[in-house]
Amino acid sequence: MCGIAGYLGPKPADSVLIVALERLKYRGYDSAGLAVMSDGEIHLRRAAGKLKQLSDLIEAQPVDGHCGIAHTRWATHGAPTEINCHPHLASGGPYDGRIAVVHNGIIENHEQLRRELTQAGAIFRSETDTEVIPQLIAHHYRGDALAAVRAAVARLEGSFAFAVVFADHPRRIVAVRQGSPLLVGKGRAYDAGEPAAEGSTASFAKAGRTSVREMLLASDVPALLPHAHQVCFLADGQIADLTDQGLALSDFAGQPVEAEFKAIEVTAEAVSKGSFDSFMAKEIAEQPAVLARLLDSRLRGGALVEPDLGLDLASVNHVVFLAAGTSWHAALLGKRFLEQLARIHVEVDISSEYRYRNPVASGNTLVVAISQSGETADTLAGLRLARAKFIPVVGLVNTVTSTIARESNGVMPLLAGPEIGVASTKAYTAQVLALYLFALQVARAKGLLDAAAEAQAVAAARALPELAATTLASAEEPVEEAADIFAAAQATVFLGRGGEHPTALEGALKLKELAYVHAVGYPAGEFKHGPIALVTSHLPVICLCPRDALYEKMLSNLQEVRARAGRVIAVGQGGDRALRDLSDHLFPVARAGEDLLQPLLSVLPLQRYAYHVARRRNCDVDQPRNLAKSVTVE
Ligand code: M6R
């Protein structure tokens, strides 16, 4: 989704903002732009397409200034053209070209506002909903920037975050949060005349300041790096007034609010690719270390360390998982874990469905909101609906500073580190492991886990990092061979039973989103009820066949595919001769010490398969077309 950045400080704003946009582009974008204040004017640079187009434009037409706002746009209203790129300007009235806005979210009443403002003399130049914001601010502006923003916000409906600059206030950025994430970063203070790392402090010296504070604004923490050391997360209904003296925070009624800054813990290295060709490759490779980190935080010796969720887990008898996409696949496994280990009734809901039905709340229900980003709009809306019904919510999130984490009663962190590739990989396996540990915790609270069973479960979990590393290494060659052969296939089917059904869904989603191959995952027992009609000698069918209780059933499915000349890729144990003989290709996977955990290993070669097929089809694995990393609008 759209990304916002802002900078105010001694360095050249265009260079700082381009780096910030680089760090936001993982969210998904199709055009980008910035506005920099210079010589009492607002200078726009905007370009459709990749960020490189914008950098080239700035190189050809540099703009010298120390305060500006910038944006990566993921088109909703209007095609990804230069005219629809942000920033958008007020146009047609006395403040023509003198107020610029970047925005994330959707203004639901934009058509009504557009009609009113046009009648009042505003001239609209784009097809976006965003353009009503600078026009509305200009309509209310009488020299007081904050008063104009407050008056405009009172008319806006929807979910949004935006930043605005005024030509009349060359060292000021005003920003608003109402439903979409927005963060203020604090950099260091500079004495007037002190040289900044890049650029100069000349403009500040001119302004007669003795010292200036470097301030930043962004939709996400990585975009504040490396300049900011502290971050303040705006809450809904807050307005941030950034000047070179710091941040003043107020609510929509103008009442001052105390700003709380925290140290930024993410490092610049954690958000770089390192020696890998893509974030996706790096994040897949990180999985053994991610699993080990999560286990270290949750286990002491042979026993579980229980995070304090502030809940009486023993009394919970109904759990509802809320999630979207890959997180929903993890939730399907969470259901199996909780049912088998803690013997409680579990529902798994797609967030966008849950939020629009009227779910039944019983006294002992617990909602678990699963989200890598912690910002997915539908999951957040589901969480709020649950809380409005007085249902406690636990957030299973990777981004612990996210809105879902802040609004949950208790938080289970994934500790996977920043996930930048649009396709979720390391967050998925961390979610699966965290859900397994959560199920053990509930089982223990209910007296269903004796010491021997706990020690056995813990030992199986402890072995996972090494088994994941072995699997990634041993599957690589066969995965590449299969990708060479099937990269041009127009469709792929994934079959799995039990815990491998979610793996089949996840393998299919990875292939769809990364390689643009039509792919579907089925519970293998359902295959005969229709989808088997798809099988031809051109169709690769990926069969998940670990040596678990349903192994023989899977072999029958595999035979059915072979009997119809389908091309079988099996995922199973490397030493399984029978499986090797029955399949065209075998992706070897280590055997987990506990059947429930096997899907966490089976998914690894499927991630690599999607990666390799995507590369062979010349697809951008980090930023697949049309997709956004955090889906912060409906
Ligand atoms: O941040 P979340 O886990 O809430 O995101 C949910 C989905 O948008 C996400 O998993 C999506 O399906 C990924 N692109 C899958 O790789």
What is the DSSP code string of 327-373?
A: HHHHHHHHHHHIIIII--EEEEEEHHHHTTS-----TTEEEEEEESS
- The residue from 2, 67, 85, 619 that is catalytic is 2
Q: How far is CA 131 from the centre of its chain?
A: 26
**Number of structural domains found in the chain:** 3
Report the pLDDT value the prediction gives residue 440, as an integer from 0 to 100. Answer: 95
User: H/E element holding 385?
Assistant: helix 377-388
Asked if residue 72 is part of any domain, the answer here is yes
Same-domain check for residues 389 and 297:
yes
Q: Whose CA is closest to atom 4 on ligand 1?
A: 371
Report the pLDDT value the prediction gives residue 23, as an integer from 0 to 100. Answer: 85
Report the pLDDT value the prediction gives residue 490, as an integer from 0 to 100. Answer: 93
CATH number at 236 reads 3.60.20.10
Asked if residue 7 is part of any domain, the answer here is yes
Same-domain check for residues 300 and 346:
yes
Same-domain check for residues 499 and 573:
yes
Distance CA 145, CA 492 (A): 56
Asked if residue 627 is part of any domain, the answer here is no
* Distance from residue 547's CA to the centre of ligand 1 (Å): 30
**236, 270, 304: which is the final residue of a domain?**
270
Same-domain check for residues 317 and 450:
yes
Asked if residue 634 is part of any domain, the answer here is no
How far lies 291's CA from each of 7, 417, 610, 615, in Å?
36, 11, 21, 26
Same-domain check for residues 555 and 439:
no
The structure's pTM equals 0.83
Question: CB count, 10 Å around CB of 570?
Answer: 24
* Distance from residue 62's CA to the centre of ligand 1 (Å): 37
Report the pLDDT value the prediction gives residue 205, as an integer from 0 to 100. Answer: 52
Residues with CB under 6 A from ligand 1: 324-327, 371-373, 376, 379, 422-424, 509, 513, 630-631
Strands (E), 237-356: 238-243, 246-251, 256-257, 262-263, 299-300, 303-304, 318-323, 345-350
Same-domain check for residues 405 and 303:
yes
Report the pLDDT value the prediction gives residue 199, as an integer from 0 to 100. Answer: 47
Distance CA 257, CA 250 (A): 5
How is residue 19 written in tokens? 């780096």
Distance CA 585, CA 567 (A): 9
For 243, residues 6+ apart whose C-beta sits below 8 A from its C-beta are 8, 171, 172, 215
Report the pLDDT value the prediction gives residue 90, as an integer from 0 to 100. Answer: 95
Residue at 471: amino acid letter: T
Asked if residue 625 is part of any domain, the answer here is no
Q: Whose CA is closest to atom 12 on ligand 1?
A: 325
Residue at 496: amino acid letter: G
Asked if residue 575 is part of any domain, the answer here is yes
**438, 462, 486: which is the final residue of a domain?**
462
Residue at 38: amino acid letter: S
* Domain of residue 599, residue span: 474-620
| Residue 510 designated active-site | no
Report the pLDDT value the prediction gives residue 557, as an integer from 0 to 100. Answer: 93
Same-domain check for residues 296 and 263:
no
CATH number at 478 reads 3.40.50.10490
- Are the C-beta atoms of 124 and 93 separated by less than 8 Å? no
| Residue 619 designated active-site | no
Question: With a cut of 70, which residues of the chain have pLDDT below it?
Answer: 192-210
* Distance from residue 218's CA to the centre of ligand 1 (Å): 21
Same-domain check for residues 484 and 543:
yes
Report the pLDDT value the prediction gives residue 306, as an integer from 0 to 100. Answer: 77
* Distance from residue 601's CA to the centre of ligand 1 (Å): 20
Asked if residue 16 is part of any domain, the answer here is yes
Asked if residue 632 is part of any domain, the answer here is no
Report the pLDDT value the prediction gives residue 414, as an integer from 0 to 100. Answer: 96
Report the pLDDT value the prediction gives residue 627, as an integer from 0 to 100. Answer: 85
Same-domain check for residues 501 and 444:
no
